Amino acid sequence: MVLKSKHLMVKEVMERNVFTVYPDETAFHASVLMASHHIGSLPVIKEDGTLLGIITDRDILTRCNAVGKDVRKTKIFECMTANPVRTVPSTSIGHATLIMGEYGIRRLPIVEHDKLVGLISIADIAEVSDGCPNKKCPDETCILVDMAKELQKSSHSYQSCDSCHL
């Protein structure tokens, strides 16, 4: 994997302005927030910023809708993933990529003293990577970043799709 900076850390790439929700808000509120901002997940925090969990659009579908719960009444804490995998700002991009690959996640909350300070996605990592120049490279980090770059090419971005103008 060739990064634009050899020693790039998560804090240099992470999104700092992260939309969040509280555990006692409804799944409907979370889904409206995700839809209006074109995002697929929201960190769940306490009033003081402590990370409690993460809720995804898939969580709402599988843990709420699919089992017959009313999204307008179901609280986020009932369908979120509690105690999500996380890392700290000083983690290297390479290590963060390995964590994401090991746990099969696309977004990784970034915390300091258990408080949410940012979020990094596989797309963020793909943006700062030039990919691996060796196409036969067995390194898991290179493979994951190359896959992320392919996913990024095939995904519709809300403001940049020329085909469907979404």
pTM, entire model? 0.78
The reply to whether 164 falls in a domain is no
Domain assignment of residue 141, yes or no: yes
Domain contains 50? yes
CATH code of residue 88: 3.10.580.10
- 90 assigned to some structural domain: yes
Residue with tokens 């970034």: 110
pLDDT in tens, 86-112: 999 999 988 898 899 889 888 999 999
pLDDT tens, residue by residue, 37-73: 999 999 999 999 999 999 999 999 999 999 999 999 9
Distance between start and end Cα atoms, the chain = 32
Distance CA 122, CA 151 (A): 9
Q: Residue 160: which pLDDT band, with cuts at 50, 70 and 90?
A: very low
The DSSP-derived string for 128-155 is TB---S-TT---HHHHHHHHHHHHHHHS
Give a yes or no: residue 85 inside a domain: yes
pLDDT at 157 (0 to 100): 43
Model confidence pLDDT, tens digit, residues 4-24: 444 689 999 999 999 999 999
Residue 5 lies in a domain: no
How many distinct structural domains can be found in the chain?
Answer: 1
Residue 28 lies in domain: 10-154
